[in-house]
């Protein structure tokens, strides 16, 4: 199955976090451990994909003067849906994620893709674009969380990996600035490989 460019671009070449530099706040906050990072990544994917889909379906009927307001309403509704589901079915995780699920609406990736893509493209393409951007975001979150959890707590997904060898967790890894440094390193590696992304 040939994957369309809509799907593959946001995963690497046009990744929302390391290329478009969007969604950084939550990338710092929820990546202390891998499990919340995964849930957050999936939540953002869900919200971005379905906001894109809904807005694309509505794009011909929305009055242009209240375009942004309608986008906000759609995104906010989806975020509330996700939050309510987490509180009902994954309560412990929803407490760990606390306010950050509600803050998905402030994640620039969601509004950014709706404005840039969904309003000018067909529903299926928009949906795919939303999924891909969400997954691109999730990928980076998981990568950052991988390092932070492994080096900061010696575990991955809660399973002890390093502690049995007498490893003592590096507390610095548990603080947000470390996440920023890791994201910076990922951007560095990514741009070294993709030379065309380097600014002149």
Partner 1 sequence: MAINKNSNVYIILYTVVMVAIVGALLAFLATTLKPRQDENKLQEKKVAIMKAFGDAKANFDESVTVYRLNGTELTEVAKEQQPVIFEELEKRGDLAAATENLPLFKYAKGSTVKYVIPMVGKGLWGDIWGYVSVEPKEGNVTITGIVMDHAGETPGLGAEIATDAVQALFVDKKLYDESNAFAVRMQKGGAKNEYQVDAITGGTKTSDGVNAMLKECIGKYEAFLKAEAGMAVADTEVTSEEVACAKCAECPERETCVKDCKKSCEECATCDNQCEECEECEKQCAKASENVEPVKVEEK
Chain residues in the site for partner 1 (CB under 8 A): 61-66, 69-70, 73, 77, 80-81, 84-85, 87-89, 91
Q: Any idea what DSSP says for residue 57?
A: H
4: its two tokens: 């369309």
Of the pair 87, 122, the CB lying nearest partner 1 is at 87
* C-alpha to C-alpha distance for 191 and 19, rounded to whole angstroms: 9
CB-nearer residue toward partner 1: 69 or 116: 69
* Polymer length in residues for the chain: 200
Non-local CB neighbours of 44 within 8 Å, separated by 6+ positions: 23, 26, 104, 107, 109, 110, 134, 137, 138
Nearer to partner 1, 19 or 101 (CB): 101
- Quote the least distance from Cβ 200 to partner 1, whole Å: 41
Question: 86 or 128, CB closer to partner 1?
Answer: 86
Report the C-alpha gap between 198 and 200 in whole angstroms: 6
Residue the block writes with tokens 């967790």: 169
CB of 77 to partner 1, least distance (A): 5
> Least distance (Å) from partner 1 to the CB of residue 175?
8
Residue number, 98 or 192, with CB nearest to partner 1? 98
Closer residue to partner 1, CB minimum distance, 13 or 76: 76
| Full DSSP string of 152-188 | HHSEETTEESSGGGTPPP-GGGGSHHHHHHHHHHHHH
Q: What is the dihedral of CA 174, 175, 177, 182, to 10 degrees?
A: 10
Minimum distance from residue 146 beta carbon to partner 1 (Å): 22
Q: State the nearest-atom distance from the C-beta of 68 to partner 1, in Å.
A: 13
CB of 170 to partner 1, least distance (A): 15
Identify the sign of the CA torsion 22, 178, 83, 45: positive
């Amino acid at each position: 199955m040939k994957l369309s460019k809509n799907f593959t671009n946001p995963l690497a070449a046009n990744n929302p976090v390391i290329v478009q530099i969007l969604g950084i706040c939550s990338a710092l906050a929820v990546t202390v451990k891998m499990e919340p990072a995964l849930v957050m990544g999936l939540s953002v994917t869900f919200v971005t994909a379905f906001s894109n889909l809904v807005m694309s379906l509505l794009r011909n009927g929305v009055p242009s003067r209240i375009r942004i307001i309608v986008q906000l309403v759609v995104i906010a509704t989806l975020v509330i849906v996700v939050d309510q589901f987490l509180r009902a079915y994954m309560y412990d995780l929803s407490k760990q994620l606390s306010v950050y699920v509600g803050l998905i609406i402030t994640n620039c990736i969601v509004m950014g893709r709706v404005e840039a893509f969904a309003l000018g493209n067909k529903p299926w393409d928009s949906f795919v674009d939303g999924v891909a951007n969400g997954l691109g975001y999730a990928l980076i979150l998981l990568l950052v969380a991988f390092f932070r959890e492994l080096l900061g707590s010696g575990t991955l997904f809660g399973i002890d990996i390093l502690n049995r060898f007498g490893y003592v967790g590096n507390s610095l890894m548990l603080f947000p600035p470390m996440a920023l440094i890791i994201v910076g390193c990922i951007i560095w590696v990514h741009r070294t490989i993709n030379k065309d992304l380097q600014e002149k």
